[in-house]
Amino acid sequence: MTATTRPMLATYPAEINLDRDLLSRTIDTISACAQACTACADSCLSEPNVGMLVKCVRTDLDCADVCTTTARVLSRHTGYDANLSRAVLEACIMACRSCADECELHASMHEHCRICAEACRVCERACQELLTAIGR
């Protein structure tokens, strides 16, 4: 898979107030997390004990939606608003933490939950790193 995030950021004609490599890595990590959460939710729905996974499906889908929104906001730089970037990163960190916590409850029985929890933890750390770089 060839990532397009870095090449797209490289074509942005104006200054970006953030390290482009850090930003592109974070966007790619967030996008990968959204995909993992979507796939985990779908896998949960196919499990024979789906009733026990309702909360997991919900947190997966919430996390996927928050991650997708975060990646989209971080991909736009015209009229950049650091306050909004901080807010969506904080929401993404919280969504990833909640999803990882829930998926870890099922990880010993469902490999898709283990993979999703891991993706969420990686995303949580990446968002925190970018949030720190943005500062207050």
Q: What is the pLDDT of residue 136?
A: 67
Per-residue pLDDT of 1-47, as tens digits, reads 457 898 988 888 888 888 999 999 999 999 999 999 999 999 999 99
pLDDT score recorded for residue 134: 92
52-91 per-position pLDDT tens digit = 999 999 999 999 999 999 999 999 988 889 999 999 999 9
Domain boundary assignment for the chain: 19-134
| Per-residue pLDDT at 16 | 87
Task: Write down the pTM of the prediction.
Answer: 0.94
For position 1, what pLDDT does the model report?
44
- Non-local (6+) Cβ contacts of 97 within 8 A are 120, 124
Q: What is the CATH number of domain 19-134?
A: 1.20.1270.360
